Amino acid sequence: MKLDFGSLQKKLGKKYMTGLVIVFGLLCFVLLYNNVRQKAVSIKEGNLASETIRANKTIENKYETDEKRRLAAETVNPEYTYDKDIATKQVELVNQLFTLVSEVKTEVDKEYEAKRSAAKDKATVAPAATEELVAALKKKFESINQDDIAFYQGFPNAFYEGIFKLNEADLKTVREQSVSLVETKMAEPIRSSNLTTVRQKVNDEIQYLNLGSDLQQLIKYVVDKGIVVNEAANDKRTEELKEQAMAKVNPVMIYSGEVIVREGVQIDSRAIQKLELLGLTNREQSIFPLVALIGLILLQIAVLGYLVFHTSELEKQVRFTTFYVLMVLISLIVMKGLQLFQNEALSYVPLIFPAAFTPLVLNLFISRRASIMGALFQTAFSIFVYYDLIGTSTLLLIVLTYMFTGLMATLIKRERIGRQLGAAALWIIVFPMVFVFVVTIYQGMDFKDSKTIATLLCAFAGSLFTYLMSVGLHPYIELMLNDDSVLVLNELSNPNHPLLKQLLVEAPGTYHHSMMVASLSANAVADIGGRSLLTRVACYYHDIGKIKHANFFVENLPDGAENPHNFLLPEDSKEIIFSHVSEGVKILEKENMPQLVIDICQQHHGTTLMGFFYAKAKERDPETQESQFRYVGPRPQTKEAGVVSLADTCEAAVRAMDHPTNEKIGKFVKNLIESRILDGQLDETGLTMKEIRIVEQSLINGLCSMFHSRIKYPKMKSEAEEMKKEQEERA
C-alpha cells in the first residue's frame, strides 16, 4: 500500500510537482471562493432581509451617539444662583417704606400743631386729610433712589390710605410683622417657578396672626411686594454642565462582525442608519476578499516551494509536496463541512475541528518545518472558511485555538505516537484546553451559560478527536508513506512468511543463526533508543541469500559432513561467501521488502576482510591483495545496521567457541568492536562512543545468556546415589 513517490514522479514527468502545486492552488480557491464571494445587495427600509448582514468594519454610530448625548443634556437640571443682596435690598425697601410713612406723619403733625398755634380759633384748623398724607408720601418718593421708586409705586392707594389711618402701635405692629416675614422668606432660595407658592404660604401664615383683618391685609400688601425671586437661572453654568454630561457619553460603536439585521427580519430605521454609516445600503460586489484569498494561496505556494527547494533528494521533495497538499486539502474539506452546520445558535461548532491532526501527521511523517507551515496556513485559511464570523469574538476564539493547538502538535517528538501516548495527550489535549479556558476567561464569558459550556465541550471534542485519530490512523498512514511500517514489519516477522519458511527448510542453521542475531541486535538497538522491531525483522532476512548455496555455510552442514570449501580454491570460496549478500539483496528486492531491511542485508558485513580465505590465498600467492577479499559493502550507514554487523559476527564466533565462558565472550566482543572501530566499519553509522559501549554490554549479556557454560556440581553423583538408596529403602 506504500505510495511510491519516486515512481509517481517518474511516470508523470518532471513537471509533476509544478502541476500538483497549480492544482492545489486552484482547489483551495474553489473550496473557499463561495465563502468570500459577495453579492450586490439593495436594501430598503421595511423590506425583509434576504441574508444576515454583519458590519464590515468598526465605526462610530453617530446617530445613536448624538441621541444619547441629547438625552444626557436634557437630564441636566438648570443651575440657579442665590442672591443674598436681593433679600437685603427687599428688607431695606420695606423698612424704608415705613420710615417714610413715619416721617410724613411726623411732619404733617408738626405742621398741624403749628397752624393751630397760629390760629385764633383753633377749632377752625382741621387735621390733614388722608389724601394729603398720601400725596406728601409720594412727594417723598421723588427724593429717593430712582431704582427704588418702582417698588413703592407698585402699592395701591388703598394700601397707603390704610397705612396712614393706623395709630403708632398698629403701624409698628404691621412694620415688624412685614419685615419679619419678608426677611424670613427671602433667606430661602425663591425661583420664578415657586414664587406664587411661597407668597401663598406666607398669606396663609398671616391669617393665623392674632391681628385684625385690616392689619392682615396691609401686611399681605407688603409681603406680596417684598417677596420676590432671589435665585436666578445661571445659563452659563447650566450650559457647562450640559457640555460635561454630553462629553461623558461614550461614542456608540458599530463593531466589525456585529449583526446589523438578521435574515428574514424586517429592516427598520435604526438598521438603515447603521447600514448607511457602513456604506451597505447599496452594497456592490467587493473584490478585496477574493484578492486576499488569492494572495494567501500564492504565499502558501511560495513558502512550500522554498521548503521543497531546500530538501535534498527528489523523492523527498515529491513526498513533501504530495503529502502536504493532501493533508491541507483534507483540513479545508473538514472545515467546510463544519461550516455547513455553523450558524448563530451553533457558532462554536468549528471548535470540533481536529486542528492538531494535520500538523501532527506532517510532523511525524514529513518534517517539523512542514508541520509548522501546515499549522499556520491551516489557521489562516480558517479566517476565509468562517468569513461570516469576521470581527466577532467567536472567530477570534476559533483562530487562536487552531493556531495554539496546531503549534502544540509541532512540539511532539518525531517518533511513533504509540510510544508517547502520555506526552501526546499533554500536548494535544491538556495544554490546548487550558488555553481555551484562558481565552474564555479573557473574553468574559459566563461559565454558567450553556453556550460557554458547549464551547468548551466542542474544544475538548476537537482535541480528543485529534488524539484518537492520530493513534488510530498512525499505522495506516505509515503504511502508505513508509515501506517499514509497523503493520508491514509485523507481517514480515511472522514465522509463516514464505521466505522464512524456505530459510528454515533449506538452511536451518542459518535460520537459527538469524533468530539469535535478531534477539541480540533488537535488544542492543532498544537500549540505545533505535528501531528495535525493524532491526529484528532485518536480522530475520539478513542472510536470506544463503538459501542459494546453503551447504557452503558451516552452520548448515550436517554433523560429520566435510566442509565443501576444502575442495575449492580460496577465490572460489570467496565468491560463494560474497554472493550471499548480493543474492540476498536480489531476493529481498524481488519480494519488495522495506528498503532498510535490504540495506541491512547489504551492509551487515560492510567492507570487512574475509580473513580465513585471504590467509589461504596469501599462502598460495603472496601477491594477493587484501582488497580482493573484502566485502564490497557499503559500510553500515545506520545505527541499526552497525549493531547488526557486530551481533552477526559475535553470534557466529561465540557459537564456534569451545566451552565459551563469560570472560571469553566478554573479551571477544570487546576486541571485535575495537577492531571494527580501527577498521573504520562504524564510522558512518552515527553511533557515539557511549552508544557503542551500551551495545557492547548488551551483546555480552545476550551472548552469555545464550552460550553460558554449565556449572559442574561435584557432589551430584553422591547425591544421586543417596536418593537411589532412599527409594530402595522405602520400597
pLDDT per residue over 122-135, tens digit each?
556 667 777 878 88
My answer on whether 305 and 422 are in the same domain is yes
Using CA atoms, how far apart are residues 202 and 181, in angstroms rounded to an integer? 7
Residue 242 lies in a domain: no
Domain count of the fold of the chain: 4
Mean pLDDT of 285-309: 89
My answer on whether 500 and 474 are in the same domain is no
Band the pLDDT of 285: cuts 50, 70, 90. Answer: low
Band the pLDDT of 708: cuts 50, 70, 90. Answer: low
254, 271 contact by CB (below 8 A)? no
Using CA atoms, how far apart are residues 539 and 346, in angstroms rounded to an integer? 56
Using CA atoms, how far apart are residues 115 and 111, in angstroms rounded to an integer? 6
How many other C-beta atoms are found inside a 10 Å radius of the C-beta of residue 194?
A: 15
Residue 254: its H or E element: strand 253-254
**Last residue within a domain, chosen from 435, 453, 482:** 482
Q: What are phi and psi of 60, to 5 degrees?
A: -75, 135
Residue 590 lies in a domain: yes
My answer on whether 45 and 101 are in the same domain is no
Mean pLDDT of 186-203: 86
Higher-confidence residue: 209 or 637?
637
Crossing angle for the helix pair 16-36 and 288-309, to the nearest 10 degrees: 150
Band the pLDDT of 111: cuts 50, 70, 90. Answer: confident
pLDDT of residue 513: 93
Using CA atoms, how far apart are residues 600 and 607, in angstroms rounded to an integer? 13
Residue 388 lies in a domain: yes
Higher-confidence residue: 500 or 266?
500
pLDDT of 656-690, one tens digit each?
888 888 999 999 999 999 999 999 999 999 999 99
Band the pLDDT of 340: cuts 50, 70, 90. Answer: confident
Most confident of 209-218, 243-252, 354-363: 354-363
Mean pLDDT of 594-611: 93
pLDDT of 721-730, one tens digit each?
565 566 666 5
Q: How large a percentage of the chain has pLDDT more than 90? A: 36
pLDDT of residue 373: 95
My answer on whether 552 and 621 are in the same domain is yes
pLDDT of residue 240: 84
pLDDT of residue 454: 86
Higher-confidence residue: 227 or 728?
227
Model confidence at 525: pLDDT above 50: yes
Residue 722 lies in a domain: no
266, 357 contact by CB (below 8 A)? no
Residue 222 lies in a domain: yes
Mean pLDDT of 366-377: 93
Mean pLDDT of 273-286: 66
- Residue 591: all three cell numbers together: 519480494
My answer on whether 318 and 227 are in the same domain is no
Model confidence at 707: pLDDT above 90: no
My answer on whether 548 and 580 are in the same domain is yes
Model confidence at 711: pLDDT above 60: no
**Last residue within a domain, chosen from 429, 449, 482:** 482
My answer on whether 217 and 273 are in the same domain is no
Higher-confidence residue: 235 or 498?
498
Using CA atoms, how far apart are residues 44 and 269, in angstroms rounded to an integer? 9
26, 328 contact by CB (below 8 A)? no
Residue 716 lies in a domain: no
Mean pLDDT of 529-535: 92
Model confidence at 224: pLDDT above 70: yes
pLDDT of residue 480: 80
Higher-confidence residue: 19 or 347?
19
Using CA atoms, how far apart are residues 712 and 709, in angstroms rounded to an integer? 9
My answer on whether 226 and 323 are in the same domain is no
Cis peptide before 634 (omega within 30 of 0): yes
pLDDT of residue 451: 81
Strands (E) across 33-141 are located at: 41-42, 53-54, 59-60, 80-82
Mean pLDDT of 316-341: 90
pLDDT of residue 483: 79
Q: 463: domain range?
A: 5-36+286-482
My answer on whether 686 and 623 are in the same domain is yes
My answer on whether 472 and 539 are in the same domain is no
Residue 721 lies in a domain: no
Residue 726 lies in a domain: no
pLDDT of residue 730: 59
CATH of residue 539: 1.10.3210
Mean pLDDT of 568-593: 91
329, 397 contact by CB (below 8 A)? no
Higher-confidence residue: 269 or 630?
630
Using CA atoms, how far apart are residues 490 and 418, in angstroms rounded to an integer? 15
pLDDT of residue 712: 43
Q: Give CA separation, 424 vs 361, 415, 466, 470, 471, in Å.
A: 12, 11, 10, 9, 10
Q: How large a percentage of the chain has pLDDT more than 70? A: 90
Mean pLDDT of 153-157: 85
My answer on whether 434 and 326 are in the same domain is yes
Using CA atoms, how far apart are residues 640 and 687, in angstroms rounded to an integer? 9
Among candidate residues 655, 647, 464, the one with its CA nearest the CA of residue 555 = 655
pLDDT of 57-101, one tens digit each?
677 888 888 888 888 888 888 877 888 888 888 888 888 888 888
For the chain, what is the mean pLDDT? 85
Model confidence at 411: pLDDT above 90: yes
Q: What angle do CA 596, 598, 604 make, to 5 degrees?
A: 90
- Residue 494: all three cell numbers together: 511472522
Mean pLDDT of 135-162: 82
My answer on whether 394 and 338 are in the same domain is yes
Model confidence at 383: pLDDT above 50: yes
